[in-house]
A and B are shown apart, each in its own frame.
Chain A
Amino acid sequence: MIDSILLIDDEDLFHLVFEDACSLLDMTLSLEALNSSDEADKLFKRWFTEGPVEERPECVFVDLNIIGSSFDGIEMIRKINTDYGNGVVIGIISSSDDNQEIEKAKAVGAQFWIIKSDEIEPRLEEFLKDYDSYQEKTAPFKVYK
């Protein structure tokens, strides 16, 4: 089970889907969902500069296109990995399967790419199986289709 998860996605309905799917799969006990990358940026900046670091989530799922935010999911991952000390399992959760975007995400240090669809649970289940290797940073980048 993952200690804490942060979901950054502009779609409120997906927050509910993700929360219920996580609950059914016993993925985590603590899930926080944010609507914008700006909010997440503020939090990570605070955790990095002021702490406490323990408040940081263990795993972060970022949507690719976050409507109403100053930057997209790839930039968010880049910021977390390079500006805010890295240290979290991080990847994209998006309905897009654009290869160029996938490559960009990989380049900034995303560890996985989960494609959103009606049936998200089997992908999350598969992700959960690989989770330990993501934490140990031994798993290669993977796209969950």
Chain B
Amino acid sequence: MISGNDTVNEALIKAKSKKVYIEGNFVKILKGSLSAEVVTYISDCKEKDKQSRRKRLDVTKQVQLQNSELAEASVIKETLVLELQNALDDAEKLRDEAVEDLDIMQKRTQFELIGLIVKVALIIIVGVGITTTLLYSIAMLSDKDTTLLATAWSNLFGILLTNSFSIIGTIMGVKYATENK
């Protein structure tokens, strides 16, 4: 082993015999020696140090490159996730709009149907009213018994009046709902 009493030359020869090669900047401050063996050893150390530095530099550069590629990939991934999220939001918005449109369409169809029913009901009510009134008038003019017709006519007009308000209410409701949509 190298001791504190060894000269630099002796220490270097001992290191060489143990196949221990000096690395780093210490090698750079070693100058030549009278001993050819030590000169060769220092030269070998420098060469080995250079080789290991070159190797480490190449590996570090490779890692650096991979790191930057990973960073780029991460940015791309984040962008894609963001784009995907936006597309999802858009799709959800479109779906909501479609559902709303469908709902409106269904309601409109329902309102149209209700309108038709109301129209038909009005026609029937008015038709029955006119028919009963005509019958009652003919019976009165031709001096026929009007007791039954009078009761029927009066009941019918009572019902007509009551139903009219109900129908008007329905019409107004339908109109209001349709206007809002």
Contact = CB atoms under 8 A, between A and B. Distances in A.
Contacts of B53: 20, 23-24
Nearest to A28: B25
Contact of B54 (A14, A24, A26): A24
Interface in B8-57: 24-25, 28-29, 49-50, 53-54, 56-57
B61 interface: yes
Interface residues of A, number: 12
A30 B24 CA distance: 11
B98 interface: no
A30 B25 contact: yes
Interface residues of B, number: 16
Given A14-B64, A118-B65, A29 B57 contact: no
B56 A20 contact: yes
A15 to B, nearest CB: 9
Contacts of B63: 13
Interface of B: 24-25, 28-29, 49-50, 53-54, 56-57, 60-61, 63-65, 67
Q: Which 9 A-B pairs have the closest CB atoms?
A: A20-B57, A16-B60, A29-B25, A20-B53, A13-B64, A23-B53, A17-B60, A24-B53, A20-B56
15 contacts: A13-B60, A16-B56, A17-B57, A17-B64, A20-B53, A20-B54, A20-B56, A21-B57, A23-B25, A23-B49, A23-B53, A24-B50, A24-B57, A30-B25, A118-B65
